[in-house]
A and B are shown apart, each in its own frame.
Chain A
Amino acid sequence: MSEGGLAIPTQNSATVRPNNDVQSVNRNEVDPILTRLKRILRKFRKDELATVVATSAVFKIAEVDINRQPIDKEALIKGLISVLEDVSEMQRIVPLLELLYIRLHSNMRTWHVLQVRNMEEQQENVTPEYFQKLLSDYLNRSKYEVNVTCQLYEEGLWTRISFTEPVRKRSQMVVFKESTSFLLYYPWTPYVLYCDLKVAHQELVQRAILQTLRGTKVKKLPLTGHKISALIQLAWQKDNCRFEENEGLPYVIKKELKKRKPKEFVENSNIVNEHEHEYRKQEDYVEKQFGIYEQPSLENILYSIKTSFYGLDASEKNELDDHQVVCTVNFKGQSVLEGIRELVCQGIADRDLPDYVGNLSHLGVNKVTIKEDK
């Protein structure tokens, strides 16, 4: 969560803002923004700064040519900042840079999934400007000062929301605390992903999304992860039967969908598999259970059980309430679903898997409570 404290004295703060001259502006206004701008630019790798220049209209390429000669990153950042004319341009570009950074490094954040039910069929109106305006209008009715920035990228609406609220310290100083969170919405799907959203803001944002998308209910799915396309695919597969390629799939799923490569097997009459029959049955089962496409990359699956001992009567159960069996199993890896499939292929896992293991890609969850005795 990025938080910046802007200390503003409560008495007699004079602000002078001459045009085109950054240095003579009140230091209290410029320094925090400049610091923030430098901080976000330093986060990018040197090769990524080329993307920053190419995608941002503010940084004029004619003045900053990063490919001409090898210069170090700090000098490059200095050069980029020097082309900005005033504070307002800096204020405008910081949210865009943060959005760009999140897009390039989305795998480093933990994303959560919201499902909006019964949305009205008006998806063609959902443009970045429309989304930004409606969200901003609703959120600014709250006690926070909210700034919303929205960009369209590969059919997804990437949105940055910053909440600013005053926090009074013990002294006379009032500190404005700012917290930033990010939303991602793909029109034509009922799913909105978010990251870095404080618990205190969750309900407000959910109501804002409901209002903007004109749904009747918003539900948080027990599904979290780092890879956006995998989360959308898992949520989509929960509500849709096994799909065939190009059958109305959202773009974000389509582009990541990979058909499994068939095993390179050169048939040879001199090589005989003794367990040929068993092998064919296994292959058919795996294809039927897991499909012909690669599984979405889920990094974490949690199974939990909370139950009491068998063979106890009611009174004994009450006494032994503190002695319940609580068990949690956590599968972690690059792609846990692919790992489960591999366990079945290798014969390590039994073929008749329970629903919460074999059919996990259609449950739309990565936290499963197998049993919970109350």
Chain B
Amino acid sequence: MATITSINKEPGVDKVVILLIGGRGVGKHRLATALIQTRSSLTVEVRTCVKLPLPKENEQERPYIDLIIFIVDMTSRASKMILEESLPYLMPECFVDKVCFVAMNSSMVNSYSFGIDRVIDCGDLYGCPVLYGDLQSRSHLDNLAQQIINQAEVKAGLKYNISSNFVTASFHGP
């Protein structure tokens, strides 16, 4: 199986590759379009997949992945199952500064299939940030895309004196 690891390829210069993982209908393509259209000093390439592991056929052409986003649709239990089944395919070092969870449709509280605490607990367990998004309005989607791009810029080393470890340490506190 093709596990994702952070040490087998070289990162691009002034380019960031974001991998969006989520079931069908969670809004990957819309989020990908919003990411590309967001103003940034970087060139953004987005790769989408339904679940891990990634197909072996694309192994050679696949570039270095800077940021992995797990998109969980709060209104779909199947989406949570995809997240739980995909996490074992990531190498442990990826969780240090490459992974982020997005709880999509977080404003539709009445339609939740499971509690938001499950996603928050997942974020705490793996030490990864959790973002909240919505497909209902363009402004929410752009806001989410901007947050993801900010993270990507930190991981690509474009923010002066800020590294992803520093962000993680300051987030969790002493």
Q: Is A347 in contact with chain B by the CB < 8 A criterion?
A: yes
Contact yes or no, A274 B46, CB < 8 A = no
By a CB distance below 8 angstroms, the chain B residues around A347 are 23-24, 50
Within A318-334, the residues touching B (CB, 8 Å) are: none
Query: How many interface contacts (CB-CB < 8 Å) are there between A and B?
Result: 48
Q: How far is the CA of A40 from the CA of B33 in the complex (A)?
A: 56
- Nearest CB on A from B71, distance (A): 14
- Nearest CB on A from B19, distance (A): 8
Interface residues on B, range: 20 to 34
Task: Name the residue on B nearest A272 (C-beta).
Answer: B47
- Say what secondary structure dominates the interface of chain B: mixed
Known: A346-B78, A348-B78. A271 touches B23 (CB 8 A): no
Q: How far is the CA of A44 from the CA of B9 in the complex (A)?
A: 72
Number of A positions contacting B (CB below 8 A)? 15
Q: Is B48 in contact with chain A by the CB < 8 A criterion?
A: yes
Q: Is A270 in contact with chain B by the CB < 8 A criterion?
A: yes
By a CB distance below 8 angstroms, the chain A residues around B43 are 270
Q: Is A143 in contact with chain B by the CB < 8 A criterion?
A: no
In-complex Cβ contact of B50 among A266, A275, A277 (8 A): A275
Within A254-292, the residues touching B (CB, 8 Å) are: 265-266, 268, 270-275, 277-278
The segment out of B51-59, B83-91, B135-143, B156-164 that lies at the interface is B51-59
In-complex Cβ contact of B46 among A271, A275, A277, A348 (8 A): A271
Contact yes or no, A277 B57, CB < 8 A = yes
Q: Is B44 in contact with chain A by the CB < 8 A criterion?
A: yes
Task: Name the residue on A nearest B21 (C-beta).
Answer: A274
Contact yes or no, A277 B48, CB < 8 A = no
Binding site for B on A (CB under 8 A): 265-266, 268, 270-275, 277-278, 345-348
Q: A274-B19, A347-B50 are in contact. List 12 more A-B contacts (CB 8 A).
A: A265-B29, A268-B36, A271-B32, A271-B48, A272-B46, A273-B49, A274-B47, A274-B58, A278-B55, A346-B23, A346-B24, A348-B78
Instruction: Give me 15 A-to-B residue pairs in the complex whose CB atoms sit less than 8 angstroms apart, sorted by A's number.
Output: A268-B32, A268-B36, A270-B45, A271-B32, A271-B45, A272-B45, A273-B48, A274-B48, A274-B49, A274-B55, A277-B55, A278-B55, A346-B78, A347-B50, A348-B78
